[in-house]
Amino acid sequence: MNTVFPWREAPEFETGSGFAVIGDPVSHSKSPMMHHAAYRAFGLPYAYHAIHVPVGEVDYALDHLRSVGYKGINVTVPHKEHAWQWSRFPDEVSSRVKAANTLRLHDGAAINTDAPGFMDTLDDLGMPPGRALLLGAGGSARAIALAMFQGGWHLALYNRTESRAHELRDQLGIDISITSTADPLDCDLIVNMTSASLQNSQLPILWSNASPDVVAVDLMYSTEPTPFLLRASGLGLRTSDGLALLAAQGARSFEWWTGLYGARPIMAEALKNAHR
Ligand code: NDP
């Protein structure tokens, strides 16, 4: 668990060497540990804090953090949409998905590193574009569906509340087929972008239609495999949890702020050690 600062009590920086993650809650975030590992490896005199920002106070908090010397902010649940609204210069991806997870405070620029970070993890798995079944239609799903579509994937989307899946397609304006059954027939990849595992719930996936080569990816991570990954690995499928995305999105934020490349393996290693 992190030391968490309420935003009004955030430590101050004179030299713009401060970074932070904001969220509500934020005590569980692995970002401070991951970014500190990169600062150590690159010899950077930076600090990265976990800062609690309640819903409704994002604008005030970001303006305050800028005034006390913070250079960059990561944004986690539930503030990504608000962070995008605060931004003055959002990039194309964050504008299309209406969510930003990485901010540069001095000029109000914003990017979304969940989307390209997820594509990094598919590269690691050695997966060229193919057919994917996506589960979920929340904020992360918007970013990942857009990135995969732009990366040449053929996408089918299942969501518990089907109307939200239609909203996602309309909002992004991409070619994605909405399905009322979670059927992985002919798919190369299944991505769980729901928070069902948080409630320990199983998703209604027609696992018997999955080919033995399909890869199952869950955005969630925890010390124990999620119910989704347990089921997939029980069927002998290749699986990957959300730690890979956590490191990939964090490294892309770090690169954007510092101009330095190569943080991803350092962050991934730090996460792996913390999970041992
Ligand atoms: P949202 O709250 O925006 O969306 C939640 C989604 O989960 C909705 O599609 C919702 O369906 C679905 N859902 C929730 N409970 C159930 C259930 N019991 N059964 C079926 N579907 C359910 O969340 P996010 O998109 O922000 O995040 C989704 C997941 O991804 C979270 O677990 C989060 O921790 C993880 N994540 C991990 C990251 C990483 O770095 N590894 C980065 C970002 C997210 P409905 O519309 O019907 O309510």
Which is it for strands 70-75 and 102-104: parallel, antiparallel or unpaired?
antiparallel
- Our answer on whether the CB atom of 160 is closer than 6 Å to any ligand 1 atom is yes
**What does the pLDDT look like over 249-262, one tens digit per residue?**
999 999 999 999 99
Ligand 1, residue 165: give the atom nearest the CA. 46
Q: Is the pLDDT of residue 1 over 80?
A: no
- Distance (Å, whole) CA 129 – CA 79: 31
CA distance 242 to 262: 20
Q: What is the pLDDT of residue 181?
A: 97
pLDDT at 139: 87
98 an active-site residue?
Answer: no
Q: What is the model's pLDDT at position 197?
A: 83
What is the 218 CA–ligand 1 centroid distance (Å)?
A: 10
Q: What's the rounded mean pLDDT across residues 171-181? A: 97
Distance between CA 267 and CA 253 in Å, rounded? Answer: 12
Counting from 1 in the atom list of ligand 1, the atom nearest the Cα of 142 is: 25
Reading the block at residue 254, the tokens are 């770090």
Query: Which residues are paired to 217 by β-bridges?
Result: 191, 240
Pocket test of ligand 1: the residue of 29, 77, 181, 195 to mutate, having most ligand atoms within 8 Å of its CB, is 195
Flag whether the pTM goes above 0.85.
yes
Helix (H), strand (E) at residue 256: helix 243-258
Which pLDDT score, from 0 to 100, does residue 59 have? 97
pLDDT at 14: 79
| In the chain, % of residues over pLDDT 70 | 100
Q: Is pLDDT above 80 for 276? A: no
**Alpha carbon of 137 to ligand 1 centroid (Å):** 8
Token code pair at residue 32: 């401070």
Distances (CA, A) of 150 to 119, 176, 236: 10, 11, 30
20 Cβ contact list (under 8 Å, min separation 6): 10, 48, 49, 50, 51, 65, 70, 73, 74
Report the pLDDT value the prediction gives residue 198, as an integer from 0 to 100: 80
| Mean residue pLDDT across the chain | 96
Q: Which long-range contacts (CB under 8 A, 24 or more apart) does 222-228 make?
A: 222/197, 223/275, 226/192, 226/197, 227/196, 227/197, 227/200, 227/201, 227/202, 228/192, 228/196, 228/197, 228/202, 228/203
Ligand 1, atom 19, lies closest to the CA of 196
- Mean pLDDT over 2-26 rounds to 93
| Residues 132-153 pLDDT 10s | 999 999 989 999 999 999 999 9
Q: Is 241 in the pocket of ligand 1 (CB under 6 A)?
A: no
Given a cut of 80, is residue 45 above it in pLDDT?
A: yes
DSSP per-residue codes, 180-245: SSB--TT-SEEEE-SSGGGGTPPP-B-GGG--TT-EEEES---SSPPHHHHHHHHTT-EEE-THHH
Distance CA 192, CA 194 (A): 6
Q: How confident is the model over 101-135, as pLDDT tens digits?
A: 999 999 999 999 999 999 999 999 999 999 999 99
How far apart CA 131 and CA 258 sit, in angstroms, is 36
Chain segment 196-251, per-residue pLDDT in tens: 988 888 999 999 999 999 999 999 988 889 999 999 999 999 999 999 999 999 99
